[in-house]
A and B are shown apart, each in its own frame.
Chain A
Amino acid sequence: MKRRSLLAAGLGGAAALGWPRPGRSQSKPFDGMVLHLASVNDQYSPGLKALSARFKQETGITVLVDILGYGELQTKITTDYVGHTKGYDLATTDNVWAPQFAEAGYTVPLNDWMKRDAEAMKLDDIYPVLFTALGNYKGKQVAFPLAGYANVLAYRKDLYATARLQPPQTMQDLVANAYKLTDKSRNQYGWVANGQKGAACAQDWMQYLAEIGGVLVAKDQPTLDAPLNIQSLQTYKDLFQKAAPPGAVNWDWDGREASFRSGLAANMQTWSVGALGYFDPAQSKVTDSAALMVTPTAAGMKPRYGIGGWGIAINADIEDQRKQAAWTYIKWITSPEIHIALNQLNACSFLRRSELQDASLNRKYPFLPVIDESFTHGDADFRPRVPQYPEIQDILGTAVNSALVGAMTPAAALAAAQTQALRYF
């Protein structure tokens, strides 16, 4: 009796600690295991939490989703990896972190498992650019694509119609339209972008730069002050001064999105993940007049649509059995059926061709053909995928903002940025 009690207590303790129970069925080899997932606080994260119960029902694995802010997530998982504390088994991973994680060996390379399970996972249904963009560095897949976002142009159909303008086919059209659609006397502006110092303005300018053919890193060296980059920053600054709402130089994503949803701006390049909000009357005043299209590129240039989003990675420190369970979760959450279910929960984060053809999702998201076109011709490298990316982004965050507010000329700002960037290469 005493021995049986001890055994029961031991098994109970083991289950509580996340170890699989002995005698588990073959269909549920990880029954009783508890996995910890750190997720960024983005559109898809409530869906991850909501679907955990279904995953437990099907596999016996409990996934505890910890939803964190961007900076908090980065700090927590990095310190977890560095300290080998095994706090998280899985973590959502920003595409720009992949090079650093790959070099440091902090997350499990998934290439072999992907090769083994390719057919079962229907990997050829996932847009190839998402593998590159969301977790691949020099051939090593250190995160699996979880949530793909396309950079798109959100614009106002009504303002274009009133001004008898066609939606822009090139970047030159977009710039010209932005000026034509600006009427400050009516508090109407032709264009808006992030202007706030830091990641906000750096990321938006990088997208703009990519669309006119600019390059920030070539042959493993920074080229921040290349003539085309300076020219593009000058045009960007002019747009801010003549066609953007007052205060845009201090806006990050929230301010920029709010300005479009409130009807202040006629054009905005943005991530597709927030697009559902434009058509929601509770958040938007432009539900009937907002539209999305692929981002234009400079005349004569091949389409170059920016791709971003999140991958999901497995902590390299955890035990093999937990890695297997974590891989089971990744396969499940990115499977065609479950990823559609995730998007039914407003994730607005896409991966698969079949998903973008799904009738129910097309009813919910009227802009899926734009995402399909963007993913098909997507560019994973509009933000340089190099280990020095965080430093480059920070340096550009100051340089671009300095130019926008007139503290420095675009040439001087980018020259200073280039000098700083060289220290990291």
Chain B
Amino acid sequence: MAAPAIIHVTIFAVYPILRGAGFSLFRMNLMQPWLHRFVGLRNYTDALSDPAIRHSLAVTLMFTASCVAMELALGLCLALLLWTDNRFNRVATILMLVPITVTPIVVGLIFRALLDPSFGLIGYWLTWAHLAPPQGLLGDTHTALMTMMAVDVWEWAPLAALILLAGLKSLPADSLDAAAIDGAGPVAKLGRIILPMMLPSIFLVLVLRVTDVFRTYDIVFAATGGGPGDSTNLLMLDAVKQGLQFFDIGYGSAISILMTLAIAILAGVIILALRGLDRRYNTL
């Protein structure tokens, strides 16, 4: 029964990762085929000792942590607001799908245009009102990363909300009723009943978003190209640049494998943390 899934994963996930891992052990620049040779872990040590890559890793971690935290918090608020089943909430839930359906590269281009201080519908007025720096939110090193985080949250918080809403709707009503009879207020219900019972949904949101945000490329590429300076330069931009712009397949593969390992570690931390929380709540 599981054979098709195993074959699919082997061909489209395991094989490419193994192949990439193999490439990462070679000096392999497609523009210099005569220089191809085995270099062991040299590409990894080069990447880890490169200040630019280390900076990109730090920016990526900050971007991932901030976006996922905001998406989870905002998603939870939206889910709680939409929990009651009525016509308004049903329409609002459908409208929430709109940002998710827009291709990320288009989102990047739209926000770049909207936030431009000379031509942008939002950017012009923000600059005029001195609420944004003269060169615009995306043109200033102090505001560009936060702005990109806000754009990512705008697009993906609704997804978190939908997953969490599905979790809320599947909560057993009798537990909540029993808590109400026992005199639990809204905060107590949220902290002691709702959140502990929603840990599987929260886990899903965290793992999905961490793996996705860590690999962000399109939105940032289209909106800032990694600038101004290197303030929004995410690791994925470096991997793509090395592989598809410089055709340095060995070095690009090493960065990709490092990203895969980082994502695996982050996912492992989330699993361990939520398992700990689950145990704690079950013993309470």
Q: Which residues of A contact B (CB under 8 A)?
A: 71, 74-75, 78-79, 82, 100, 103-104, 195-198, 200, 245-250, 252, 255, 258-259, 262, 264, 387, 390-391, 394, 398, 401-402, 404-408, 420
User: Interface stretch among B16-24, B175-183, B224-232?
Assistant: B224-232
Is there an interface contact between B141 and A407, defined as CB atoms closer than 8 Å? yes
Listed A/B pairs (12) with beta-carbon separation below 8 Å: A74-B245, A78-B30, A100-B31, A196-B227, A198-B227, A247-B116, A247-B119, A247-B120, A247-B139, A250-B135, A252-B225, A408-B229
Note all chain A residues with C-beta closer than 8 A to B117: 246-247
3 closest A-B pairs (Cβ-Cβ)? A197-B227, A407-B229, A405-B228
Q: A394 contacts B30, CB within 8 Å?
A: no
Chain B residues near A249 (CB-CB < 8 A):
135, 139, 228
Query: A82 — which chain B residues lie within 8 A by C-beta?
Result: 30, 33, 247
Q: Please indicate the chain B residues that have their CB under 8 angstroms from the CB of A391 in the complex.
A: 246
Task: Tell me the minimal C-beta distance from A118 to chain B in angstroms.
Answer: 31
List of A residues within 8 angstroms of B228 by Cβ: 197, 249-250, 401-402, 404-405, 407
Question: Could you tell me the distance in whole angstroms from the C-beta of A418 to the nearest C-beta in chain B?
Answer: 14
**Chain B residues within 8 Å of A, Cβ to Cβ:** 30-33, 52, 112, 116-120, 123, 127, 134-136, 138-141, 224-231, 233, 241, 244-247
Instruction: With both chains docked as a complex, state the minimum distance between the C-beta of B140 and any C-beta of chain A, in angstroms.
Output: 7
Bound CA span A250–B141, Å: 11
Instruction: List A contacts of B138 (CB < 8 A).
Output: 250
User: Which residues of chain A have C-beta atoms less than 8 A from B136's C-beta?
Assistant: 246-247, 250
A197-B228, A198-B226 given; A247·B118 CB < 8 A: yes
Distance to closest chain A CB from B160 (angstroms) = 29
* B-chain residues with CB within 8 Å of residue A408 when the two chains form the complex: 229
Residue of A nearest to B241 (CB): A394
User: Closest CB-CB distance, B141 to chain A, in whole Å?
Assistant: 5
Interface residues of B, dominant DSSP: loop
User: Which of the residues B33, B141, B225, B241 comes within 8 Å of A196, measured between beta carbons?
Assistant: B225
- B116 near A198: Cβ-Cβ < 8 Å: no
Q: B255 → chain A, closest Cβ, in Å?
A: 15
Taking a contact as CB atoms under 8 Å apart, the answer to whether B229 and A264 are in contact is no
Contact check, B31 vs A198: say whether CB atoms are below 8 A apart. no
Cross-chain contact A197 with B135 (CB below 8 angstroms)? no
Report Cα–Cα, A196/B117, bound state, in Å: 14
Query: With the chains together, A401 CA to B227 CA distance in Å?
Result: 7
Nearest-CB distance from A222 to chain B (Å)?
16
Which residue in B30, B33, B141, B245 is a CB contact (below 8 Å) of A79? B30
Mostly helix, strand, loop or mixed at chain A's interface? helix
Other A-B pairs, 20, CB within 8 Å; known A103-B31, A390-B245, A402-B230:
A78-B30, A79-B30, A103-B32, A195-B139, A197-B226, A246-B118, A246-B134, A246-B136, A247-B135, A247-B139, A249-B135, A250-B227, A262-B119, A387-B32, A394-B241, A401-B228, A404-B228, A405-B139, A405-B229, A407-B230
Chain A neighbourhood of B245, CB < 8 A: 71, 74, 390, 394
For A100, list chain B residues within 8 Å (CB).
31
In the assembled complex, how far is the CB of residue B110 from the closest CB belonging to chain A, in whole angstroms? Answer: 14
- B228: shortest Cβ distance to chain A, in Å? 4
Give every chain A residue within 8 A of B139 (Cβ-Cβ): 195, 246-247, 249-250, 405
- Interface contact A405-B141, CB-CB below 8 Å: yes
Chain A residues within an 8 Å CB radius of B244: 71, 75
Whether B118 lies near A245 (C-beta < 8 A) is yes
- Chain A's closest residue to B52 (CB) is A420
Is B227 a contact of A398 with CB atoms below 8 Å? yes
Q: Which residues of A contact B134 (CB under 8 A)?
A: 246
For A79, what are the chain B residues with a Cβ–Cβ distance below 8 Å? 30
Residue numbers in A under 8 Å from B33 (CB-CB): 82, 104
Q: Which residues does chain A contribute within 8 Å of B227, judged by CB atoms? A: 196-198, 250, 398, 401, 405
Which chain B residues border A255 with CB–CB below 8 Å?
116, 119
Q: Could you tell me the distance in whole angstroms from the C-beta of A189 to the nearest C-beta in chain B?
A: 9
Q: Is the CB of B225 within 8 A of A198?
A: yes
**Which residues on the B side are within 8 Å of A74 (C-beta)?**
245
Partner of B224, one of A75, A197, A247, A390: A197
How far is B246's CA from A404's CA once the two chains are assembled, in angstroms?
Answer: 25
Residues of A within 8 A of B118 (CB): 245-248, 259, 264
Which one, B31, B127, B140, B229, contacts A398 given CB within 8 A? B229
Contact of B135 among A78, A103, A262, A405 (CB under 8 A): A405
Contact assessment for A402 and B246 in the assembled complex, using a CB-CB cutoff below 8 Å: no
Query: B residues within 8 A CB of A405?
Result: 135, 139-141, 227-229
Q: In the complex, what distance in Å separates the CA atom of A258 from the CA atom of B246?
A: 30
Q: Are B226 and A104 in contact (CB under 8 A)?
A: no
Which residues does chain A contribute within 8 Å of B112, judged by CB atoms?
250
Q: Specify which of A78, A197, A420 is in contact with B225 (CB 8 Å cutoff).
A: A197
Shortest Cβ distance from B135 into A: residue: A249
B180 to chain A, nearest CB (A): 53
List residues of chain A with CB within 8 A of the CB of B229: 197, 398, 401-402, 405, 407-408
**Docked pose: A198 CA to B223 CA in angstroms:** 12
Smallest Cβ-Cβ distance to A197: which chain B residue: B227
Which residues of A lie under 8 Å from residue B123 when comparing CB positions? 247
Complex contacts, B116 vs chain A, CB 8 Å: 247, 250, 255
Contacts of A75 in B (CB 8 A): 244
Report the bound CA distance from A200 to B227 in whole Å. 12
Given contacts A82-B30, A246-B134, contact A390 B246 (CB under 8 A): yes
How many angstroms between the C-alpha atoms of A262 and B119 in the bound complex? 10
CA distance A252 to B244 in the complex (A): 20
In the complex the two chains form, what is the Cα distance from A394 to B31 in whole Å? 16
Write the nearest CB–CB distance from A246 to chain B, whole angstroms: 4
Separation of A290 and B123 alpha carbons in the complex (Å)? 28
* Distance between A139 CB and nearest chain B CB, rounded to angstroms: 20
Distance between Cα atoms of A103 and B120 in the complex (Å): 45
Minimum distance in angstroms from B55 CB to a CB of chain A: 11
In the assembled complex, which residues on chain A have CB atoms less than 8 Å from the CB atom of B247?
78, 82
Closest to A255 in B: B116
A179–chain B nearest beta-carbon distance, Å: 17
Least CB distance, B27 to chain A, in whole angstroms: 13
